[in-house]
Structure 1
Amino acid sequence: MQPLEIPKIGWLVFRFSPCHWDWDYSSDERGAAPSLRKEAALRLRSHTRYYIPRCCPPAAIPAVRGEVAVSWRPSTEFAGNLYKGEGILPASPHKVWECIKPVAGGLRTKWDQNVKDFEVIEAITDTVSICRTTTPSACMRIISPREFVDVVVMKQYEDGTMLSAATNVEHPLCPPQPNFVRGFNYPCGCFCIPVPGEPDRTELLTFFQTDLGGYLPQTVVDSFFPSSISGFYSNLTKAVKALKA
C-alpha cells in the first residue's frame, strides 16, 4: 500500500478564515488581515452574484439575518463556482456544531437532505480524517447519487469559532463504488462563529466548491447549488431547535 499524501491542511484552514473568502495570503501576512477586510468586501460585492430565497425582500441583499444569503463567484480550482452562504442561527455555537460536525454517527445524516451516508475511512489524528460521503439523487433524479472522498479537518479557535474544512483526496481503501458518480469537493468549509453578546445565536459561514462529476447540463448545476444551500440552512435551523437543552 502506498503512503497516503495528505494535502496542506494549514493552508486550507487559513484560506477560509472568516475575514477572507477565497483570499490567499501567506503566514507573514496574517497581521494585515483586518486591514484587508474592507477591500476584500468591496471586491466581492463587485464580482459576486446573490441568491435570496423568495421569502426574503430584495433589500436584504447581501446579508439576510434570520434567513440566508448565498453568493458565488468563479472558482480558481475548477471550472465551476465557489459558493458562500451566510446566516444567523437561533442556537449556541455548541448546538450548531453538534449538528454539523463531521464524525461517524453524527447528526448530519438525520437532517441534511443532501447527505445520505457519512463514514470515516481512516482517522489520521483526533481532528483530521479521511471520510466518504454519499448523496441521494436530486433535481427530480436528474442528478444521480454521488460519492465524495475528502480529507477533513476540525479546528476550534480562541474566540470560540469552530471550523470544519475539507478537500478531495484519493484513498486506497475507498475506490469508486458502483451506482455512484464520483464527485470532488475542492477546498470548502463551515465556520460556527459566536455572536458577541448573544450566546444563543450563531453566525454560520459556509463555503461550497463542488464538482459533481458526470455529464450534467450547466443550467442544472447552476440552479441546484443556491437552492440546496438555502435548504441546508433551513433544515439546520429546524435541527438545532429540536435539540434538547
Structure 2
Amino acid sequence: MDYERAARAVADTLLSYKTDESGWKVCRKSNDVIVSWRSSSEFPGNVYKGEGFIRGSPLKVWECLKPVPNGLRVQWDNNVKTFELVEQISEDVSVCRTVTPSAAMGIIAPRDFVDVILVQKYENGTISSNATNVIHPSCPPQPGYVRGFNHPCGCICVPVSGDSNKTQVFTFFQTDLSGLLPRSVVDSFFPSSMAEFYSNLAKAVKSFKNL
C-alpha cells in the first residue's frame, strides 16, 4: 500500500472540509468550541468539525497535539489511552496505533485504530495532523479491542493574525466505531467528546509551562 499517497490525500480532504461551509449543522456550542456535523461521503455516518481558539502559540498548542509516542496528548486527552508507532514511513509520515478506553458509561467498549498519519507544515505557520485508517501486516486486530476505522480526520493549528499567543484549532472526526452500537449513542458521543477535547486542550496548554 502507498501509505504516503494516502496520507497526503487526507491533507487535501481536510483543507476542503475547512474551506467548504456548505451543509454543516451546528450541534454543540460552548465558550471553547463550535461543533458542527454533516453526512460523511466516506462511510454511512457523520463527519464532525470543531472550531475554537486556544490561548497559546501554534507551536505550543501543537506540542500538546502532535501524534508521537510518549507525547503529551496521552496525558490530557481522555480518549487516548495509548499511542504506538507501528512504522515510520518517512520524516513526516507514520503508521500508528491508537487505543481508546471505554466510553459512554461503558456502552462503548475499548477500541483500537491503525492509521497512517501525515504531519504537514505550511508557509504561513499552520501545522496539521492528517490521518486515515490503513491495514498494516504487523498490526492485526487484537483481543480485547474492537477495531475501529478513522476516515479522513485530524487537527489543524492556524496562527491568529496580530496575536502570536492565540491559535485557531480546527478538528475533524470521522470515525466508524464498529460494533453494534445504537446510532443515538454514536451521535451523542462525538459532540460531547469534542467539547471536552477543546476544554482539556486549553487546560493542557496553560498547564505545561515549560513549552
Same fold (TM over 0.5): yes
Give the aligned partner of residue 24 of structure 2: 48
**Cα distance between partner residues in 2 of 1:68 and 1:10:** 27
Say whether the 8 Å CA contact 2:8–2:118 is kept in structure 1.
Answer: no
1:165-204 pair list within 5 angstroms: 165-204=130-169
1:68-217 pair list within 5 angstroms: 68-217=33-182
**Cα distance between partner residues in 1 of 2:60 and 2:159:** 11
1:3-18 pair list within 5 angstroms: 4-6=1-3, 7-17=5-15
Task: Provide the secondary structure at the position in 1 that maps to 2:164.
Answer: strand
Q: For 2:113, give the aligned amino acid.
A: F
Give the aligned partner of residue 21 of structure 1: 17
Task: Provide the secondary structure at the position in 1 that maps to 2:187.
Answer: helix
Give the aligned partner of residue 186 of structure 2: 221
Q: For 2:17, give the aligned amino acid.
A: W
* Percent identity (aligned): 55
Structure 1 residue 21, shift from structure 2 partner:
1.1
Give the aligned partner of residue 31 of structure 1: none
**Cα distance between partner residues in 1 of 2:122 and 2:145:** 36
**Cα distance between partner residues in 2 of 1:208 and 1:14:** 15
The count of residues paired between Structure 1 and Structure 2 equals 209
Unaligned 5+ segments in structure 1 are 23-36, 57-65
**Cα distance between partner residues in 2 of 1:233 and 1:225:** 12
Unaligned 5+ segments in structure 2 are none
**Cα distance between partner residues in 1 of 2:110 and 2:39:** 25
Structure 1 residue 163, shift from structure 2 partner:
0.6
Normalised by the length of structure 2, the TM-score is: 0.95
**Cα distance between partner residues in 1 of 2:173 and 2:28:** 17
**Cα distance between partner residues in 2 of 1:213 and 1:242:** 35
More strand, by proportion: 2
Task: Provide the secondary structure at the position in 1 that maps to 2:35.
Answer: strand
Structure of higher CA gyration radius:
1
Q: For 2:61, give the aligned amino acid.
A: V
Q: Deviations for 1:59-113, whole angstroms, at most 9, x for unmatched residues?
A: xxxxxxx510000000000010000000000111011100010011101100000
Q: For 2:141, give the aligned amino acid.
A: P
Q: Deviations for 1:9-62, whole angstroms, at most 9, x for unmatched residues?
A: 332112212xx317xxxxxxxxxxxxxx5xx43xx2xx2221234xx4xxxxxx
Q: Deviations for 1:151-202, whole angstroms, at most 9, x for unmatched residues?
A: 0000110000001000000001101010000000001111000000100000
Say whether the 8 Å CA contact 2:7–2:132 is kept in structure 1.
Answer: no
**Cα distance between partner residues in 1 of 2:47 and 2:39:** 6
Q: For 2:204, give the aligned amino acid.
A: A
Q: For 1:51, give the aligned amino acid.
A: C
